[in-house]
Structure 1
């Protein structure tokens, strides 16, 4: 399965835009992540090339994360036009420069039983994992976007859950928690999906939308794991 690409501006050592990084999470049929690929363009090279290794390094290198800024495709297109005087290639073209995933897909790590919440056909549990530091402004923005009551103090490293959210989409029910992981070294959204019908399209739409909202607050998505 495919989804819309993620775009980042890459800055040089003095903070000036140097290029673009474009990424895609490869998804299994249940919307969990099975790989990450990426492509990059820089002013110095003047061409698009495979940047999957850079995408993977971005998840573990704070210095590199400090040099990237999440942007929309529109923002990336504007910068690309300014830097090289051309239109940003279509996403199908950008994908042609992506390399193959470094690790072969593995089945989901289901740590819980498959029993559904009473009244629903199926219950799934996902964790969207993010690297980086969440700012007070970012927490406020997410709280407003999700109408999430902030139940924990961001400044207190002992607080694990910062806020819960509940939503209904038709007959399906969704709930998620914004959670500090590994003493703040990472952040996660634990998303529970209670499904009634045979179609799970709303799951993919929700996971993608949540990822995008958190990404625009400066955190870098790492993976989407399914535990149930």
Structure 2
């Protein structure tokens, strides 16, 4: 059984004039990352629907282009399922299929190269913790200054933070400690979220929901997740 909901995107037509957003929607894309047990990604499944097409179809090339083609990326808008439902209905598709049905349209799987986790940071966890994990979630697209400010306020990033991160946050849950920092990477419109998990308990189940929740927060701010890597 799949524990995580699907990711939804609206692909807009090149904008000409001031039209309603629904009228601008060219396609709806549904995606789901395949993951190892440790929550790092192993691949990506997707399906696309257009009002002028013949139903849902699957294309790994489209998912790659959504992250690599600047012109297409500029027209990709992450959406909640409710937003995809509204667009689907307005474009004549009727009721959006359930997520179980949508998964049956995933035919062209995009595998990711996998390797043993690299080491980022100290080899051993601090005293009192039995395991240290570091994850990096890569994102395409850019954030506006006001969006970064909103994230800093939501995550309670300390004023005068000197880590070089755009925003940071932390969570203590049942003795486990999770910290994260968001920063721009490379020379293109890209961001990464580094999440450090210190496990005091034996319940590694905290990892998936936490990393997934943080990823979804950044999707809600317009970023497009590319992959989740594990570094330790």
What SS is found at the alignment partner of 2:100? helix
Cα offsets for 1:96-120 (capped at 9, x unmatched): 1113433366234322465222211
CA distance in 1, matches of 2:200, 2:229: 21
CA distance in 2, matches of 1:189, 1:104: 19
Unpaired runs of 5+ in structure 1? Answer: 154-158
- Contact 1:36 1:56 (8 Å CA) reproduced: no
Q: Which residue of 2 aligns with 1:156?
A: none
Matches within 5 A, 1:115-126: 115-126=124-135
Unpaired runs of 5+ in structure 2? Answer: 17-23
Matches within 5 A, 1:1-228: 2=2, 3-14=4-15, 16-103=24-111, 106-112=114-120, 114-149=123-158, 151=160, 160-183=164-187, 185-228=189-232
What SS is found at the alignment partner of 2:90? helix
- Contact 1:108 1:225 (8 Å CA) reproduced: no
Following TM superposition, by how much is the alpha carbon of 1:85 offset from its aligned partner in structure 2, in angstroms? 4.6
TM-score by length of 2: 0.88
Are residues 119 and 185 of structure 1, via their aligned partners in 2, closer, same or farther at CA, if it must alter by over 3 Å? same
CA distance in 1, matches of 2:188, 2:113: 28
CA distance in 1, matches of 2:70, 2:31: 18
Are residues 94 and 56 of structure 1, via their aligned partners in 2, closer, same or farther at CA, if it must alter by over 3 Å? same
What is the root-mean-square deviation of aligned Cα atoms in Å? 2.2
Are residues 104 and 70 of structure 1, via their aligned partners in 2, closer, same or farther at CA, if it must alter by over 3 Å? closer
Are residues 8 and 125 of structure 1, via their aligned partners in 2, closer, same or farther at CA, if it must alter by over 3 Å? same
What SS is found at the alignment partner of 1:23? strand
